[in-house]
Chain A
Amino acid sequence: AQTVTQSQPEMSVQEAETVTLSCTYDTSESNYYLFWYKQPPSRQMILVIRQEAYKQQNATENRFSVNFQKAAKSFSLKISDSQLGDTAMYFCASLIGGSQGNLIFGKGTKLSVKP
Chain B
Amino acid sequence: KAGVTQTPRYLIKTRGQQVTLSCSPISGHRSVSWYQQTPGQGLQFLFEYFSETQRNKGNFPGRFSGRQFSNSRSEMNVSTLELGDSALYLCASSSIPGQGGNEQFFGPGTRLTVL
A interface list, Cβ under 8 A from B = 32-33, 35, 37, 43-47, 50, 52, 91, 95-108
Q: Which residues of A contact B56 (CB under 8 A)?
A: 100-102
The CA-CA distance from A46 to B4 in the complex, in Å, is 12
What is the size category of the interface that chain B forms with chain A? 20 to 34
Q: Which residues of B contact A105 (CB under 8 A)?
A: 35, 42-44
**A57 CB to closest chain B CB, in angstroms?**
15
Q: Which residue of A lies closest to B102 (CB)?
A: A101
CA distance A105 to B36 in the complex (A): 11
Give complex CA distance A21, B94 in Å.
26
Q: Would B107 and A33 count as touching, CB distance under 8 A? A: no
Residue of B nearest to A33 (CB): B101
Tell yes or no: B33 within 8 A of A by CB. yes
Question: What is the bound-complex CA distance between A33 and B35, given in angstroms?
Answer: 18
Q: Mark B4-36, 1 if CB is under 8 A from A, else 0.
A: 000000000000000000000000000101010
Task: Give 1 or 0 for each of B32-55: 1 = CB within 8 Å of chain A CB.
Answer: 010100000011110010100001
Q: Hey, which chain A residues are within 8 Å of B58, CB to CB?
A: 102
Chain A residues with CB below 8 A from B55, complex form: 99-101
